[in-house]
Each structure stands twice: as C-alpha cells, then as structure tokens.
Chains A and B, each alone.
Chain A
C-alpha cells in the first residue's frame, strides 16, 4: 500500500499547458445539443479571480473519439470563463437513484492549494427535485449556487465564488 501524492497549487503559470481549443468540447465534431456554459469566478468580496482554470468533466453524453467529456478554460481579467459542450443527460446515482443532468467542475488557480470541486446543474430540470446531491442542501440559497440559469439561447450561466457570502457549495471529492 502506498499513499497518494500530495497536491500542490497549479499556480499562476498553468497557461503554458493551456490550449484555448480545450474550452470547446465539440471541437472534434461531436453532435448533439450544443450549449455554452459561462460564469464569473470570484473570491471573497466579489473580487474577480483572473488567470484561473475552470475545468469540466461530464460522463453524459459518454466520452468518445469525437467527444472528450473534458474541457478547461482560463478566466479572463474580469474572472469570466466560457466553455462550449453538449448538454448532459441524467446519469445513474447510487443504488436505484437517478442524478439530474450535471457537469463536474474543478476550480484551480493561484492561491488555491488543491482543487475546489463543485457541480453545475441546470435550472428547470424536473430531476433536480429528486437529485441525491441537491437533496442534501436544505438552504435554497446554498442550493442555488449549483444551478446554472438560462442566459440566452443555449447559454447557461453559473457564477462561482470561492469564499464569503455567496460561497459556492464545494464537494468533498
């Protein structure tokens, strides 16, 4: 038995491995319901976090040669990020449960020691009412931090705040 290697911050210079094309998960020709996920990343006091990495993973639709299921985007000077992907469908939960459509999100950046893990759900999805993770959040304001809202045609907005009054619900992964 060994012990997993420790995290260290991704730091301010991860753009050396950034390929802006990776923000578009449809770039290899995937077809389906194309959506744009936008948002603003902030720290305490609503201060934007530029130069950070917002990376996503979704197990639906299934990854394939044309759909990597994974993408990442740099936040701009105002902390804004933008990713293009396919709208996920429901996926199985534990036991006999179903999970509402969602996208997994890691926040990485300077001043973030490990990764901050959260999820984006979609406003108006009927399965949100019975999703096992959302069901753990009694406070509507806390729950709302995980639910992307329609922000134009096929565009969804999820703002992410790492600390403070509007702090996003982060998940122990």
Chain B
C-alpha cells in the first residue's frame, strides 16, 4: 500500500482563474474543458531540490560589475512557510524584475525607457533553516503593456518557488504598498478574494530598512500545506 500524503486544494477565491478575461491574452489560452481531477501521487508530492552548488545565490541585484544600478535601493526580506505555518527551509527563490525606469533587459521589451548597464534584473536566493530570505535590489518602475487603453503594470517583482513537491510550485508577483496602479491591474485583480490579493502587496518595514543605505520591504510567502490525514485507497 502506498500511503500518499497529498497537498491541500486551494481555499476558494484565494487563487486566480486561468479564465481571467480582463487579461486579454488569457482568452485564447485557458483550457475550456474542466481540469482532470486526480489525487496526488509521488509525481506531485515530490519535487526538485536545488543545490546552491549548482545554482549559486545572487542576492544583490543592485550592483553589476561593482557599479551601482540607477534607482531607489531596496532590501526585500520575508519568510516562506506552508499553510500550517511551518518554515520552508533551504528552498530556492528566483526573482526577476524591470529596472528603475520600468524596462526589462529583454529583447521583447520595447518600452521607450532606458536600459541600465548596471542592472540585469535577475536574482536567486535560498531560504535559511527558518524559512527566511533576503535580497537587495532596486525598486522596479511601472511600465505600459497594451492590454487596454493606457494600461500600466504596477511596480512588481516576479517570484518563482518550488517548495516540497511539484504540487507546491508557485509563480507569483510581489507588489508595493500604496501603488495607485494596483486598482486598475487585471493581473492583480485576477485573484478574486480581496484579502488574498492584498497579501501580494509587500509592506514597508522600518526594521528591514538600513540607515543611509536602503528602504526595507517585507514579503512573506505561503506554500500549500499537506492534507491532514494520509489517504491510501
């Protein structure tokens, strides 16, 4: 008998639907047929583990070749836990973002804003034994994205996390408090529940802020927890 302890289904409203028509390019891309319901197996309950030896940390995005990037230096610090508030230790977090002017160092980004030779926009950090992570960067700028008339993405940093199993995979975005563009952003508003949406907004944190150096933001992340009881068949 293989007793499999799977991961809990999402709390209703806490996750966006792939069918989010205000985000126009979803319309031809979201599956029209219902997803196949299939209980988790070892394929979903296990997942990749990344070694810093193969994936070296890159925790300071604000400096390239010893020279400082343009913009407002920030420190982002937070804790990764599961839904049972247990720390997710030694897990890899990948981040990527636009520069201070709102431009990605990417051939597809044609926004008329300057590139910064001292900003690449990609980072990688591992959580410690208690789930804490921290990196230094530059506050990303807003940029236009043509989804609708006068559409601008709010300032955001992209996140990629894996956690314990393929089922805990998370791709998300961290936003900044007080951003007026959040009210108009279809990607942010694809999350139906207001509280769940607002948990994507980091908060300014004076304790993370370093004097004479950088503003601090706190952004905690919660990955799915396991079901309470192992369910064999």
Contacts and interface: CB of A to CB of B under 8 A. Distances in A.
A108 B160 CA distance: 11
A94 B227 CA distance: 15
Contacts of A94: 2, 4, 39, 41, 231-233
B43 A137 contact: no
Contacts of A7: 15-16, 170-172
Contact of B166 (A16, A112, A173): A173
A14 B106 CA distance: 9
Interface string B78-90: 0001111100000
A51 B104 CA distance: 15
Nearest to B53: A65
B22 to A, nearest CB: 11
A70 to B, nearest CB: 3
B187 A92 contact: no
Which 3 A-B pairs have CB atoms at the shortest separation, nearest pair first? A111-B25, A70-B48, A95-B233
A3 to B, nearest CB: 5
Contacts of B166: 57, 104, 106, 173
11 contacts: A3-B199, A4-B11, A4-B83, A6-B196, A6-B200, A8-B187, A44-B29, A91-B42, A111-B23, A115-B171, A172-B37
Residue in B94, B96, B167 whose Cβ sees the most chain A Cβ within 10 Å:
B96
Interface of B: 1-2, 4, 10-11, 14-18, 20, 23-26, 28-33, 35-44, 46-51, 54, 81-85, 94-96, 98, 104-106, 108-109, 120-122, 124, 156, 158, 160, 166-167, 169-173, 187-188, 190-191, 196-197, 199-200, 221-225, 231-233
B14 A172 contact: no
Interface stretch (A32-40, A122-130, A163-171): A163-171
A73 interface: no
Nearest to B95: A17
A45 B42 contact: no
Q: What range describes how many residues of A lie at the interface?
A: 35 or more
Given A10-B171, A16-B105, A113-B20, A4 B43 contact: no
Contacts, number: 218
Nearest to A102: B43
A59 B46 contact: yes
Given A13-B109, A43-B29, A133-B38, A68 B83 contact: no
B11 A3 contact: yes
A1 B18 contact: no
A20 interface: no
Contacts of A57: 43, 47-48, 166
Contact of B173 (A8, A65, A102, A114): A8
Given A13-B108, A114-B15, A92 B41 contact: yes
B108 A1 contact: no
Contacts of B231: 94
Given A113-B16, A115-B169, A136 B42 contact: no
A70 B225 CA distance: 21
Nearest to B174: A8
A171 B38 contact: yes
Given A17-B94, A93-B2, A9 B41 contact: no
Interface string A136-173: 11000000000000000000000000111001111111
